[in-house]
Structure 1
Amino acid sequence: MGSTKKIPVYSIRSLQPEALQRSDFLAAPFALYLEQHYEHLHRPHRHSFYHMVLFTSGKGTHTVDFSRFEVQPFQVYCMTPGQVHSWHFTSAVTGYVVNFSEHFFRDFLLNPYYPERFSFFSGVVDECVFRLPEALHTRIVRLLEDVIRYAGGEAPQQDMVRVWLLEVFLLMENGLTRRSTKAIPEQKKVLLQHLRRLIDSNYKLMRLPKEYADLLYVTPNHLNALCRDLLGMTAGELIRNRVLLEAKRLLTNVNMTVAEIAYELDFQDNSYFNRFFKKYEGITPDAFRNNFLK
Structure 2
Amino acid sequence: MERDSNDITLKNKLKEKQLFKISRFKEVVKRTKPHKHDAYFELIYLSQGAGFHWIDADKFQIAPPVVFFLSGQLHYWEMTEIPKGYVMLFREGFFDKKDLMNLVRSLEDTVYVNPSEDDNLDFIFGEMEQEYRNPSKNSTELLQGYLQVALVKLLRHKDQTSVTVISKGQEVFRKFQYFIQQANPVSNLKVNQVADHIGLSPQNLNAICRKVSGKSASELITEQVILEAKRFLIHSDKTISEIAFALNFTDPSHFIKYFKKTVGKTPQAFRSRYFQ
TM-score (norm 1): 0.69
Q: Deviations over 1:173-215 (max 9, x none)?
A: 753676279967522321211211232244332143x443454
Structure 1: segments with no counterpart, 5+ residues: 15-21
> How many angstroms does 1:66 deviate by?
1.1
Aligned to 2:236: 253
Structure 1 residues 215 and 173, CA, compared in 2 at 3 Å: closer, same or farther? Answer: farther
User: In structure 2, what is the Cα distance between the partners aligned to 1:192 and 1:136?
Assistant: 35
Aligned to 2:24: 29
Structure 1 residues 53 and 185, CA, compared in 2 at 3 Å: closer, same or farther? Answer: closer
User: In structure 1, what is the Cα distance between the partners aligned to 2:231 and 2:31?
Assistant: 18
Structure 2: segments with no counterpart, 5+ residues: none
Aligned to 1:18: none
Q: Please state whether the residue corresponding to 1:244 is helix, strand or coil.
A: helix
Q: Does 1:231 align with 2:213?
A: yes
Aligned-pair RMSD on alpha carbons? 4.2
Q: Please state whether the residue corresponding to 1:47 is helix, strand or coil.
A: coil
Aligned to 1:167: 148
User: In structure 1, what is the Cα distance between the partners aligned to 2:275 and 2:86?
Assistant: 29
Larger fraction in helix: 1
Q: Does 1:68 align with 2:62?
A: no
> How many angstroms does 1:170 deviate by?
4.6
> How many angstroms does 1:57 deviate by?
4.2
User: Contact 1:116–1:193 at 8 Å: present in 2 too?
Assistant: no
Aligned to 1:152: 133
For these two proteins, the number of residue pairs brought into alignment is 266
Letter in 2 for 1:205: N
Structure 1 residues 116 and 274, CA, compared in 2 at 3 Å: closer, same or farther? Answer: farther
Aligned to 2:85: 95
User: In structure 2, what is the Cα distance between the partners aligned to 1:195 and 1:213?
Assistant: 8
Matches within 5 A, 1:1-294: 8-12=9-13, 25-30=20-25, 33-35=26-28, 38-39=29-30, 41=32, 43-48=33-38, 49-81=40-72, 83-100=73-90, 102=91, 106=93, 109=96, 118-121=105-108, 127-132=110-115, 134=116, 137-138=119-120, 140-153=121-134, 159-160=140-141, 162-164=143-145, 166-168=147-149, 170-172=151-153, 175=156, 179=160, 186-202=167-183, 203-208=186-191, 210-218=192-200, 220=202, 222-251=204-233, 252-254=235-237, 256-289=238-271
User: Contact 1:74–1:137 at 8 Å: present in 2 too?
Assistant: no
User: In structure 2, what is the Cα distance between the partners aligned to 1:291 and 1:155?
Assistant: 54
TM-score (norm 2): 0.73
User: Contact 2:27–2:84 at 8 Å: present in 1 too?
Assistant: no
> How many angstroms does 1:160 deviate by?
4.8
> How many angstroms does 1:44 deviate by?
2.6
User: In structure 1, what is the Cα distance between the partners aligned to 2:76 and 2:137?
Assistant: 30
Q: Please state whether the residue corresponding to 1:127 is helix, strand or coil.
A: coil
> How many angstroms does 1:137 deviate by?
0.9
Q: Please state whether the residue corresponding to 1:98 is helix, strand or coil.
A: strand
User: In structure 2, what is the Cα distance between the partners aligned to 1:188 and 1:154?
Assistant: 39
User: In structure 2, what is the Cα distance between the partners aligned to 1:222 and 1:269?
Assistant: 32
User: In structure 1, what is the Cα distance between the partners aligned to 2:265 and 2:274?
Assistant: 12
